[in-house]
Amino acid sequence: MAFVSTYLNFMGQTEEAFNFYAEVFKSPSPATIMRFSSMPNAPEMPEDERNGAMYAELEIIAGHKLMATDSLRSMGHEVNYGNNTTICLNLDSNDEADRIYGLLSQDSTERADMRQEFFGYWGSCLDRFGIRWMIVVSTPFN
């Protein structure tokens, strides 16, 4: 089932932030955290980044989910106001993802075109109004 979530970026503080948010929102269950160490290319990563949160998810209010990742200095990532929050559209089909991405990315200033990744079909863009969107059709995790 498709849903919308808020996606956050941190510099190594995802787990700390999500533990805090779980307390604030009295979340029904603890945050789900997947580590970079579970990625196929983990052995190639700097050792101090492997334990970071590749993906975190926490239900807060009325089924709304916060999702997040630790940005990686080794990949040149820096978190600044403006790139720390993304609206994430979790969709049911690649066709719908392509349709929505095609419209949102028109005249965009930054974009990562839709492509298959190990976690699903993914893309993102900064639309012409300065809003960052992420679109994903998830591959189920085992």
Q: Hey, where are the domains in the chain?
A: 3-138
Which structure tokens are listed for 115? 């492509």
Whole-number Cα distances in Å, 39 to 45, 49, 87: 10, 12, 24
Pairing of strands 85-90, 3-10: antiparallel
| CATH class name, domain 3-138 | alpha beta
Confidence at 83, pLDDT banded by 50, 70, 90: low
Look at residue 109 and give its three-state secondary structure: coil
DSSP-assigned letters across all residues of 14-35: HHHHHHHHHHHTT-SSPPEEEE
d(CA 34, CA 57): 9
9 residue type, one letter: N
For the question of whether the overall pTM of this predicted structure is more than 0.85, the answer is: no
pLDDT for 42-69, tens place per residue?
677 778 777 788 889 999 878 889 999 8
